Structure 1
Amino acid sequence: MLTTEINIVEGIKDKYAAKFGPETLDTARIFRSPGRINLIGEHTDYNNGFVLPASVDKAVYFIVSPREDNQVILYAADLDETYSFTLDDLSKPAQSWAHYQIGIVDQLHKNGYKIGGFQTTFGGNVPVGAGLSSSAALECCLLFALNEIFELGLDRFSIVKMSQKAENEYVGVQCGIMDQFASAFGKEESVIRLDCRSLEYQYFPFPMQDYLLVLCDTSVKHSLASSEYNTRRLECEKGTAILKKYNPAIESLRDASPELVEAHKDELGEVVYRRCKFMTEEIERVQVACDLLVDGNLADFGKKMYETHDGLQHEYEVSCPELDFLVDQTRGNGSVLGARMMGGGFGGCTINLVENSAVDDFEESMKKAYLDQYHIDLPCYRVKITDGTGEIK
């Protein structure tokens, strides 16, 4: 464990002991689940394409011990808030932070798994709202912990699917499977190419001796995000329906090619054409990017990141002025190999591939430029690619 991680874990242990009594630490176990980034492959998940995520060294930690009764006590250390419920009453509380944990217990019930009561203290350093998917880390961590403590026999894949369903069904967010998958299946200095149709996956090397990934958080979230997300899905479905007339095998844009899109540009109409152009190119771009990683060619991989951003900005139209400004600041900076917006869009972070030796200067210049332009202090997070969900012995 790194010093930062030790400090976080010790802090949560102290809060656990203060809440439940130091003697209960004897039966408690500690679990960790990381946040995630996505290097390339944005909005491709709901088009059955490929994504390229990785788990990072910003994580959620749970200290859990079983109880003799059927009560569950959740203590959110970072919020200093407690919520208690019994296993036979999983109704939704007003405290929305507890929905993720109750959703996990709800999934276990629905799938016929029996657990006893438990008490837990949790916290961590995944920045909320920055697009690192703290919710998926929470879900995977608690389900992994309960699986171990109550010896349920779930494999990692089942943990991922049940965590996603907890968010879909109990929390009410229709997320894809990428976030939970990356959190649970992460591997140090590797990215995961996940096929969102078959759920087959493969690891590709992402060596980080000479480069660091730096996230620059716009600290803005434009209200367009959820409505535009649904609109993009519909536009992609409309494009799929038109292209299917020319090839009945096409079930989603995963099955189409940029050439086919180009051939039917007029029929698609200007907007749907641009959406389909970006999507078919982005699905191909993930494949090319993986070949570049096999060759150890990070310089050209970085160029692919810029291509993704340009497509998201001009063709898919899910960027925003703040994101574009941050990416533009990096163009022509020799110490930055690539940069792009990350996530659903209209706010959140840019992800930047920066030479190790230049990271301090990079952050300083980005913070100054953003403050001058928008009068907002720019949070920057340095991340390394780490292993996925597990127990800390």
Structure 2
Amino acid sequence: MGASSLAADLAADFQLHFGAAPVVVRAPARVTLLGKHLEHYQGWVLPAALDREAVVAVALNHTGRVRLYSYDSDVMVEAPLAATGPPGAKSWMYRLLGVAAGFQQLGYALPGFDCMFGGNIPVGAGLSPAAAVASGLAFALNQLLDARLDGLALARLAQRAEYLEADHPAGLIDYVAALCGSPGHLPRLDCRTLEVELLPFDAAQYRFVLCDAGISRSRASAGYAVRHEECARGLAVLRRHYPELRSLREVTPMQLHRYRQEMGESVYRRCAFVLAENQRVELAAMHLQAGNVRALGQQMYAAHAGLRNDYAVSCPELDELVLIAQDYPGTLGACMLGGLSSCTLNLLPAAAADTFVRHVAAAYQQRRDGALVTYQAGISPGVVLIDEAELAAVAR
């Protein structure tokens, strides 16, 4: 079901369930093109919002309670507004209650609300569907409360809500992609200053194809915690010689190479990936400013090589999918998606996407003797309000 038709159905069901006309928004999925893992090292990250979306409908109910309804799974939970989640609550409920708490902590009087959500974001593909719903709720409450928070303020509010759910510091990337975008641009996040730079990107000309290798989530995320610890050890070695260093972002290649033997080869290579990936994000920003999307794609290939060889978090299935993508003449770039995802991310001219899907599916079937799941997506400008006229037009 398309996002527009889902929005109309969901708005109608909302009125049946809750007896009120809601604010309805579309909130996008997110991928990271370049800068994977760099949020841990105060680096730069280049995410993109996709037009695989969650639809979120919200209305204030003036009961002091929150009612949350998952349209796709037909599950409703209810809690007092001040709750952090009743016993046995789903993780997404904690996150959404955390968004509500964020507005209250900023001094906004929240009288209770109803929220219904659904979408077409594949679950388990690493596209952050829960973050999309949280972004949509934050955007909708911002409208309903007339809070007038800007995109970055909403992103930080939603980030704190994820912290409440996961009990660890969570990155801003999901929320910056959803809430700080602009039509015809990609956002680049500086994880030290939290500044967002909008870089030009002609969304109509390009498509992303995600290819799912079908590996387990544990394999997809294997080694991440160890890599973070190794990079911390590398920084500790460097700070013995350069005590002014605050993060790997400040390290020069010469400084890193000088103490390669002292930190050991594995730690050196993990840190080398961070330095090189920061440089790739900077180069990508220059390429986008110049309108050179093909050069952006080359940085994606280089990023995958770094994730495979230096950061050592890839696996044979993902490596093979990237090689298959490189064999297709129209592919501009490809890399592993990262996080808990078992997918690769492939950048193509829009006209080549369907043919690419057939090529990669046939090649993977031949090499791995298994069916390949693929998803296509374009670039989204971020969370948007769906007006009543659009809902009425779709309903007709």
TM-score (norm. length: structure 1): 0.92
**Worse-matched range after superposition: 31-40 or 168-177:** 168-177
8 Å contact from structure 1 (residues 189, 208) kept in 2: yes
Mapped to 2, the partners of 1:209 and 1:35 lie a distance apart of 17
**Worse-matched range after superposition: 81-90 or 108-117:** 108-117
Mapped to 1, the partners of 2:231 and 2:305 lie a distance apart of 18
**1:67 alignment counterpart:** 61
**2:322 alignment counterpart:** 327
**2:146 alignment counterpart:** 151
Residue 218 (structure 2) aligned to one of 212, 216, 223: 223
Q: What is the correspondence of 1:298-309 to structure 2 with a 5 Å cutoff?
A: 298-309=293-304
8 Å contact from structure 1 (residues 55, 187) kept in 2: no
Distance 1:381 1:268, change over 3 A: same
Note the alpha carbon deviations across 1:159-197, whole angstroms, 9 max, x for none.
111110111123435421111111101222311111100
Distance 1:12 1:285, change over 3 A: same
8 Å contact from structure 1 (residues 58, 125) kept in 2: yes
Mapped to 1, the partners of 2:220 and 2:94 lie a distance apart of 22
Aligned residue type for 1:20: F
Matched, 1:35 2:29: yes
Q: What is the correspondence of 1:333-372 to structure 2 with a 5 Å cutoff?
A: 333-344=328-339, 347-372=341-366
TM-score (norm. length: structure 2): 0.91
1:73 alignment partner, SS class: strand
The percentage of counterpart residues that share the same residue type is 35
Runs of 4+ more than 6 Å apart:
none
8 Å contact from structure 1 (residues 60, 125) kept in 2: yes
8 Å contact from structure 1 (residues 249, 255) kept in 2: no
8 Å contact from structure 1 (residues 147, 153) kept in 2: yes
Residue 382 (structure 1) aligned to one of 367, 376, 384: 376
Distance 1:359 1:91, change over 3 A: closer
Mapped to 2, the partners of 1:156 and 1:358 lie a distance apart of 34
Aligned residue type for 2:301: Y
Q: CA RMSD in A?
A: 2.0
2:215 alignment partner, SS class: strand
Matched, 1:56 2:27: no
Note the alpha carbon deviations across 1:253-291, whole angstroms, 9 max, x for none.
100122322222111201101101111011011101111
Mapped to 2, the partners of 1:110 and 1:225 lie a distance apart of 36
Unaligned runs of 5+ in 1: none
Name the count of aligned residue pairs. Answer: 386
CA-CA distance at 1:376 after TM superposition: 4.2
Distance 1:99 1:356, change over 3 A: same
Residue 122 (structure 2) aligned to one of 127, 137, 140: 127
Matched, 1:176 2:171: yes
Mapped to 2, the partners of 1:258 and 1:369 lie a distance apart of 39
8 Å contact from structure 2 (residues 32, 337) kept in 1: yes
Q: What is the correspondence of 1:130-209 to structure 2 with a 5 Å cutoff?
A: 130-209=125-204
Distance 1:196 1:88, change over 3 A: closer
Mapped to 2, the partners of 1:105 and 1:192 lie a distance apart of 26
**2:8 alignment counterpart:** 10
8 Å contact from structure 2 (residues 221, 338) kept in 1: no
Aligned residue type for 1:178: I
8 Å contact from structure 1 (residues 103, 171) kept in 2: no
CA-CA distance at 1:344 after TM superposition: 2.4
